[in-house]
Amino acid sequence: MAGCVFYKANQISQFPLDTAIQPDNQAAISYAEIVKRESRGEFENYGIMPSDFHDKLVKSILASTTIDAVQASRLIKLISG
């Protein structure tokens, strides 16, 4: 599936259901909201993503038909630290 990272159900432990991670389908969440929800214990850590996830995510960004080159460059910089 071009433009997304897809995992079949239970392919990795974090996703018991088929899961598509779509970098062109973002939802803005403020840092304050993250802090508030974390302090309430609303987040769970399901572990570290596989070592090849970053490369797959970069490839999905570059393969997206809805992310332009400027946005792709910005996203890749953000996820690459």
- For 25-74, what is each residue's pLDDT tens digit? 988 899 999 999 999 999 888 899 999 999 999 999 999 999 999 999 99
Model confidence, pTM: 0.83
pLDDT score, position 81: 81
Domain map (residue ranges) of the chain: 5-80
Q: For helices 53-63 and 69-80, what crossing angle results, to 10°?
A: 170
> What is the pLDDT, as a whole number, of residue 44?
87
Judged against a pLDDT cut of 80, whether residue 1 lies above it is answered with no
The answer for residues whose C-beta is within 8 angstroms of residue 58's C-beta and 6 or more apart is 76, 79, 80
Distances (CA, A) of 50 to 29, 35, 71: 24, 25, 25
